[in-house]
Chain A
Amino acid sequence: AQKITQTQPGMFVQEKEAVTLDCTYDTSDPSYGLFWYKQPSSGEMIFLIYQGSYDQQNATEGRYSLNFQKARKSANLVISASQLGDSAMYFCAMREGFLSGATNKLIFGTGTLLAVQP
């Protein structure tokens, strides 16, 4: 069965430092996608970054990058130069592969609460 694991319930980081949020996944399907979402205290879900299982390079979007290690089944989110506004809950999610049908359904991890300290 497909599964997403985020082992860090909460983390602190100093402003302007980099932080890595861990995500491991489990799937037997060779075609899958990995997403990271940010949920600030206001509650909305904000899409940050995407990595496809066949992508050769790690995805980057501004200050966000995804450290994709396929053999280890990990897709860690790296936030560079943390800002106070980065304080939020972060969710890793996996889109099931096309062998399971092209439904684009997501399986979410339990999230990591990041607090950026001034």
Chain B
Amino acid sequence: NAGVTQTPKFRVLKTGQSMTLLCAQDMNHEYMYWYRQDPGMGLRLIHYSVGEGTTAKGEVPDGYNVSRLKKQNFLLGLESAAPSQTSVYFCASSDLPGSQVGQPQHFGDGTRLSIL
């Protein structure tokens, strides 16, 4: 029962390097999300997708790109890493929301990313 799997779990980058974080879900969920968590600020939405082939910007999208080529995968890319992107990144997925039915987002275990 894997749920949402994020790789890698830890990564250290130098300023200016690029990398891709991978999120995979096995629950056949339509919706997927990328958040970042910084101390004292809760989780903030970076980008999200409401289906294969679609992406949209969240609250803090600058410096990140995403792709959803397959329904089960949602990739988060950093083209040129900056120290301000040091954070814990969470991927989540959810089923289609009903009008009043709670469809909780299911989270991966997070990726701790440090930019030096």
Q: Which residues of A contact B (CB under 8 A)?
A: 4, 31, 33, 35, 37, 43-45, 47, 50-55, 91, 93, 95, 98, 102-111
Contact = CB atoms under 8 A, between A and B. Distances in A.
11 contacts: A35-B105, A43-B110, A50-B104, A52-B100, A52-B102, A103-B31, A103-B50, A105-B48, A110-B41, A110-B42, A111-B42
Contact of A106 (B41, B96, B105): B105
Contact of B97 (A51, A102, A107, A110): A102
A44 B107 contact: yes
Interface residues of B, number: 30
A91 B104 contact: no
A4 B42 CA distance: 10
Residue of B44, B56, B104 ringed by the most chain A CB atoms within 10 A = B104
Contacts of A54: 100
Contacts of A47: 104-106
B45 A91 contact: no
Contact of A108 (B44, B88, B94, B100): B44
Nearest to B110: A43
Interface string B89-100: 010101011011
B42 A52 contact: no
Shortest Cβ-Cβ A-B pairs, 9 listed: A50-B102, A45-B107, A108-B42, A47-B104, A52-B100, A104-B97, A108-B43, A110-B42, A44-B109
B107 A104 contact: no
B7 interface: no
A91 B107 CA distance: 13
B58 A110 contact: no
Question: Which one of A37, A44, A91, A103 has the highest number of Cβ atoms from chain B below 10 Å of its Cβ?
Answer: A103
